[in-house]
Amino acid sequence: MVIKIGVLELQGGYALHHNLLSKIGIRSFPVKSSKDLKQLDGLILPGGESTTISLLLKKYNLRDSIIKFAQHYPVIGTCAGLILMSKNVDDIRVEPLGLFDLSISRNAYGRQIHSSKKKIYLLNSKERKLEFYSTFIRAPKINYIGDNIDIIAKQEELPVAIMSKNLLGLSFHPEIDGIDIFHKMMFDKSSKFYFEKLKQGYAT
């Protein structure tokens, strides 16, 4: 079975997601309208300007289609994508999709000139902890986490990657650094990190 993953292409850094999916042998397709979601097996909401993407989602009537899609298929949101997937955002210009019961602060890691790579701890089980560095660009901060959401990675003591069933949200940009573990986690059923294979019991 050929896996087909869509990448939202309204604004932002979608090209690197296509590149990363190609490197792990997964076909990807642009998503610019509701019809583009048909026959896809998953979706990525990339980083970018969350206020702009929020407006474009309404303009192109994609909001309801993405919400329905996320009820059945795996979805990754990176940076602005995480902001859009949340329930509450500290900026009235953003109309989030409400996929996660989260409260988010935009640009909590500083302006774009303050972008940097930070050490992240991936907590994929009680027995093992993986570390890597990834890029934060005006990254959002998770202020509140509701029920049925697992923290799967932290930067120091701050949650920067969360998962709920088939949804994954990241404050950072693994696609910039060529880190493929999260794309495999959601879309590669042969990977040991595939989300349906991971044990429950993430650090909270």
Q: Which of 17, 18, 175, 183 is catalytic?
A: 175
- Backbone phi, psi, residue 32, to 5°: -125, -10
Integer-rounded Cα radius of gyration of the chain: 15
Return the half-sphere exposure (C-beta side, CA atoms, 13 A cut-off) of residue 181. 21
127 is a catalytic site residue: no
Catalytic residue among 156, 173, 183, 196: 173
How many helices and strands (H and E) does the chain possess?
5, 12
The answer to whether residue 157 is catalytic is no
Q: How far is CA 60 from CA 55, 95, 169, in A?
A: 9, 14, 23
List 17, 18, 79, 183, catalytic entry: 79
The SS3 of residue 176 is coil
- Active site amino acids: 79, 173, 175
